[in-house]
Structures are given as C-alpha cells and as structure tokens.
Amino acid sequence: MPIPQDVTGDEIDKDVRQELQSLPKTLAEDVARNLVMVARLIDEDPEGAYGYSRVALRLASRVAAVREAAGFAAYANQKYSEALAEFRAARRMTGNTELWPLMADCERGLGRPEKALDMAGAPEVQKLDKAGQVEMRLVAAGARRDLGQLEAAIVTLQSPELASNSLQPWTARLRYAYADALLAAGRDKEAREWFAKAVESDKDGSTDASDRLAELDGVEFVDALGDDESGDDESREESRDDSGGSDSDAGEDVTPEDSEKE
C-alpha cells in the first residue's frame, strides 16, 4: 500500500521504535511507516488503517507492538475474532494486562457477554491502572445490558470515579454510559441529569451527550440558512402579490424547502 513521502517512521512512540530495533534497519523503517499510517487513519478511515496493519503484520509478526496495532485496527473494523487473537498474542509477548478490557469487549462483540463478565472478575483487573479499571467497568456494564440486566448495569457503573467531581480522560464516557443505562431503564429524569454532567465534562466532543440532552429536552435544531431562504421566498411572494402578480406567476415560484433538522 502506498505511503505518503512525509511519513518517515520517526513519528512512532519511542517504546515502539525500541521494539523495532530487533529488526534489520530497512525492515524496521518499513514497519514503522506502516504503523504510523495505522495510527493516522484508524479514526477516520478504519479500513485503510486495517490494510496498513496487515502489511506491518506480514513484515514483523513477532513484534508485540505490531500485533497490538493489528488488534486495534481489526477492532475498529468490528473484526472481533481477529482483534482478540492479536490482543492475546501481544499480551503473551509482553505479559502486560493493559489490553484486558479490550479483549473482554471483543468477547462481547462475539456474542459472549458471560465471558466478558468472567474477565471483569479476574485477577488481571487488579493489575490495571485506574483508566483500565474504569474501562473494564464500562465493558462489564455493557455485558450486563447485553444480557438484559439493566439495573445490574446501572449498579456496575456506580463507583467513586462516577461520583468524583475531578475531570479525568474517562469521566465523560463514564457519565454518558451511566445516563444511557438510566434512560434504557426508564429513569428519564436521572438520565437527563447525567447527560448534562456528561456534557460538562466532554470538552473534546468524544460523546454525543449534548445531542442526547437536547433530545430529552425536546429541542429541535433548525437550519438557519433554510429559514432565511424561506423568509426570502415569502417576501418575494408578498411583493409579487402587492404588485398585482397573477396566480399563475405565483405558482411558478420555487417552493420553500422545509428546514432541515439535525
């Protein structure tokens, strides 16, 4: 797959670069450039990222960072069986548990929420950092919802991290998941409160909490440009009528378009 000339491979994390030092220099550079493309495309073009991950995997399947990148790319494309296999391989190579929540979520994606819940109670969870433990809690709550256990999902999300006023990278997603679970359980008033809290903490727009909150409040978004065009058309029609224009002339005028709702 073609790689832009401005991608040198030096953009990768220093830890990954160190892993690649076990490879011949030219090969390491090729792998690094493909990994850069995976990271660059994974959000906006998951399929493209997946393609580059497969190239990197073909070149250096024994490098843990490559297996991990391949797992993320497969996960982004909902190829959960493949993602799980790559995450497991990376974990065997490194001994790290940081991929544990993603592995559990792959089990959910494969229709095995019970397995995800088993993993949520495994000793590996205690080895995760705070962000990883919160992620594991989100996965466990999702598994509960998969099983139709809405109240259990709500309880799963109730935690010191949820109650804390301190804003962390996970705060918006945690509050959003809690609000969504409350709404699914028919607890609309509480859901609105937590969607509002999610909006307050979602500084980078990682969730659609603001849209969900507006929906609960019955707010409808109108295309301002569409309104202006409608107003202009109406003004022209009134002017034509005032000047003695015929009914057939009015009928030939363009009909104002309905305002688009977001």
Mean pLDDT across the chain, nearest whole number? 87
d(CA 224, CA 17): 50
pLDDT of residue 221: 59
**Mean pLDDT for the stretch of residues 170-189:** 96
| Residue 38, both tokens | 């995976």
| Residue 116, both tokens | 């995800």
Dihedral sign, CA of 177, 173, 199, 221? negative
Which range, 1-10, 19-28, 138-147, 198-207, has the best average confidence (pLDDT)?
138-147
d(CA 17, CA 10): 8
For 37-54, how does the pLDDT look when each residue is reduced to its tens digit (9 = 90+)?
999 999 999 999 999 999
| Residue 50, both tokens | 């997946």
pLDDT-derived band at 170 (thresholds 50, 70, 90) equals: very high
Element spanning 13, H or E: none
**Mean pLDDT for the stretch of residues 68-87:** 98
For 114-168, how does the pLDDT look when each residue is reduced to its tens digit (9 = 90+)?
999 999 999 999 999 999 999 999 999 999 999 999 999 999 999 999 999 999 9
pLDDT of residue 1: 84
d(CA 146, CA 150): 9
Residue 17 CB-half CA count within 13 A = 9
For 204-226, how does the pLDDT look when each residue is reduced to its tens digit (9 = 90+)?
888 999 999 999 988 875 655 55
